[in-house]
Structure formats: structure tokens, C-alpha cells
Structure 1
């Protein structure tokens, strides 16, 4: 993984969501923390082109997120905070197959890919289930499957354990621990990122902490008055 921010900033009219940032990311597992409104989600969305920089540029594995937007989206998958907003078709296997339609695969190839990704996450029994009937943990695993079926090299997760009970939170944590993809995880669940390679801390649109999880999490707790 090679993500390069070159004086990248984001402004919305008079409000600055992210101050100019120059940064390089290459570690396999990176946590992103900060208080609400700190700029962490804006930062993460810059990586796969969901947000475009107002100034500067962002490159992912050598591709500019504006000039090479389609390639970047294939390189970096994004799982939203609420997976219900990501899974749009009523039957799970149909929703997962949707991401493969652009690849001009045969029906047999699509069916095989869907079956493989469902098996990877231990949810083949959910293939024909209606998505509105899935539990929180099942929805999160389904969101993983719907994004990873297209084989992105980087997976960005926005609050993957948000609103999950302890059982489903632990299920998601175990699933993440067994994944081979590069992970960038935005979270308030500090225990989730304690074993990560690097953690970034944002505050008021500025990167104020960058280092090993123990040090940066301690800095965040001081900032939050915890």
C-alpha cells in the first residue's frame, strides 16, 4: 500500500474540513481516531475519491484520486458507517453480484465469485436472505463481502463496530484480524486498533498525532478529557 497526501486540503465554502496535509501511508493496518467533526472521515474519504481535495492532491498506489478516479475506487473499497446504506438490493447474493457487473464476467463467473466471498466470511447460508432481515453483525459481514468481491487492495472502514452489541462487535473484530487486505479503520472503538501498525489522530481538521497505537491513543484520551 502506498498512499500519498501532497498538501491536500478540503474546504466547504468558509469551513475548512481538513487543513493542508502532507503524509505517506504504507503500513498494513492503520487506525484513524478523533472527536466528532475532527476531519477523520473527510481524510478517509479522500483516499478513495468520495471527497475531492480543494487543493493539493492524493495518490493511491500511484494513481491520482481525481485524474484516475475509477482506478482508485477499484484499488480502495469503502465500507460506510451504516451498512444498510451500502446494501441496496433486497436479496444478499444479488447485491454482492452487483459490484461485478461492470467487469463483464459471465453469469457462471459471477456466481462463483459470490459463492467464494460468502464462504470466506462464513455466511453462505445468507445468500438468499432478504437484507432487511439481517442482524447488525450479519449486515456488517455482508458489507465486507459486497466490497471485497471486487478484490480491492485497500479496505477503508468507517466505524465498523458502531451500534453493534458485544457479540457482533467481537465477530467483526475477529473477521478483520483474519483479513489479508490493507485496512484503514476510522473508529471510536479504541480497543479495535490497539494492535494496529500505526494510528493517526485528528483534531479540528489537523493531524495532531501519528505513531504507535499506545502513544496516540493516550494522546487522544488526554484530548478528550478521559
Structure 2
């Protein structure tokens, strides 16, 4: 598959000496149409990597390409290919009304007013927020704000959607709704989705591939059912293993010969194997 993100030999040093680094041996690569998660505890460099990818931070050294462009030098050409949702959506929502906020990117691009109206209504319908288009964002719930920020990121039909801890502060209902939206735009339009999270229970059944960060470096990368069963690496990264992984590790400690699942479907399949032995 064609890579849409390539990050190699990255190093960024902050003024206080804090360093985030990706060596050549463990490049970060996202392919078109992929759902990719960067996992790590707070302060491990997840947000820095996203900031470099979207061109907000110019790295001290390294190769960074997004859709064939260099973010730090070619952002004006890149921004129409990107949709971004920040961790704190209150910092991102700037319009006086929900409609204005969603329309902001299109207005900046000098899109015709009637087309803006069509696109805003289209994405609002997709996210189920037509009824709040004329409301003031300040008074919305956390889940509604997340959807507004997501609508603003999707209204211009990006190739790549980048989200920083998008589900962190949502209640279970909003969490499920946003997850369905991310899956739908990936399935329906082939939008590549890259996000950061420390919720391993959720990401186990969502991501195609995961990267684990520890102390500013990539500790592991691969499929969720390979990476999320490695307790040593997860503990080294300061991450709590998925509950299913812990449960089945305990079953193995008690003598049951069973594979370790990361999803409920896998768990059901493996448990049937126990019953049939």
C-alpha cells in the first residue's frame, strides 16, 4: 500500500532538553486507508509526533513526509489534505456559532457560500449535529464539542484525519458514537485515521496497527494482537494491559493452555477451544 505518512530518524529537542526521537530502525509509517494508533502514557511524546506530522513543530532533525509533502515547508499545500482534532477541543472551536466553526476552513479557502452551506449540512448530517448548527459552542456538552471539532476537520474532505486523544473525556455513549463515525469515514471514503490514546481496551479492536512510545522513543510496533499481549513492553511504557489480556494471562498461570485474546470475539473463540478439550 502507498504510504501517506513517513517519519524517519526524527529527533526533536525542546528548550528544557526533553527529547523525542524515532530511529531509522523503527520508522513511523502510515499507509493510505489505515487506522493507526500511537500508544503511550502522558509525556511520552505522542503529541509532539502529531505536531511534527501536521507541521506545527519543525523537528531538530529527520525525514517527515505527509502525502508526499514536507509539513514544515509545504503546509499551505498540505493543509487541504489534513483534518485535525486537538486534545482540548475548546482551543480549536473558535466560531461564534457551530455553523461558523465548521465553515471556517471553507471560508478561508474562498469557497462559494452556497457550496459552504451544502458541505456544512452534509457533514453535520453525517455526525448527527444538524440540530445544534446555530447554537453557541460554549454551552455544548463534551461529546457535542468533540463532534463539532470533528465536523470542522472533515468538512473539506481530507485524505488524512489526525486526532489527539479523541475519546479521552467522553462518556460511554459519545465514545461509541465517535468511534462509529471514525470507522465509517475510514470504510466509506478510505480516509486514513491516525490517533493517539492510552486506552488499550478500546484500541485493541479498532486499530490496524499500533506504535508504543516510551520516554520519547518507539518501543514496539505491529498488529494489536501481537503488541498488546506483551506485558513487559506495556509495563515498560507505563501502560495498563487490556483487561482481557490480564484475565487470560491468569488463566494460563493456572494451567489452562489458551492463546491470549485482545478482543471479545477472540476471547469467545479461545474459550470454546478450552471447553472442547
Per the normalisation by structure 2, the TM-score is 0.77
Paired residue for 2:35?
29
Does 2:235 correspond to 1:222? yes
Does 2:73 correspond to 1:60? no
Deviation at 1:9, TM superposition (A): 1.2
Consecutive unaligned residues in structure 1, runs of 5 or more: none
Between 189-198 and 56-65, report the one with greater CA deviation.
189-198
Distance 1:225 1:60, change over 3 A: closer
Between 32-41 and 213-222, report the one with greater CA deviation.
213-222
Equivalent pairs counted in the alignment come to 226
Distance 1:63 1:129, change over 3 A: same
Deviation at 1:212, TM superposition (A): 0.7
Distance 1:225 1:26, change over 3 A: closer
Paired residue for 1:184?
194
Larger fraction in helix:
2
Q: Choose 1 or 2 for highest CA Rg.
A: 2
| Native 8 Å contact 2:57 2:72 kept in 1 | no
Does 2:174 correspond to 1:168? yes
Q: Equivalents in 2 of 1:214, 1:81: separation in Å?
A: 26
Paired residue for 2:5?
3
Larger fraction in strand:
1
| Native 8 Å contact 1:89 1:95 kept in 2 | yes
2:211 equivalent among 182, 200, 212? 200
Higher RCO structure, 1 or 2 (CA under 8 Å, sep 6+): 1
Aligned partner of residue 179 in structure 1, secondary structure: helix
Alignment of 1:110-189 (within 5 A): 110-180=116-186, 181-189=191-199
Per the normalisation by structure 1, the TM-score is 0.93
Q: Equivalents in 2 of 1:32, 1:129: separation in Å?
A: 34
Q: Equivalents in 2 of 1:191, 1:153: separation in Å?
A: 27
1:96 equivalent among 90, 94, 102? 102
Consecutive unaligned residues in structure 2, runs of 5 or more: 241-277
Q: Equivalents in 2 of 1:206, 1:59: separation in Å?
A: 19
| Deviant stretches of 4+, over 4 Å | none
CA RMSD, 1 decimal: 1.7
| Native 8 Å contact 2:40 2:239 kept in 1 | no
Q: Equivalents in 2 of 1:105, 1:138: separation in Å?
A: 26
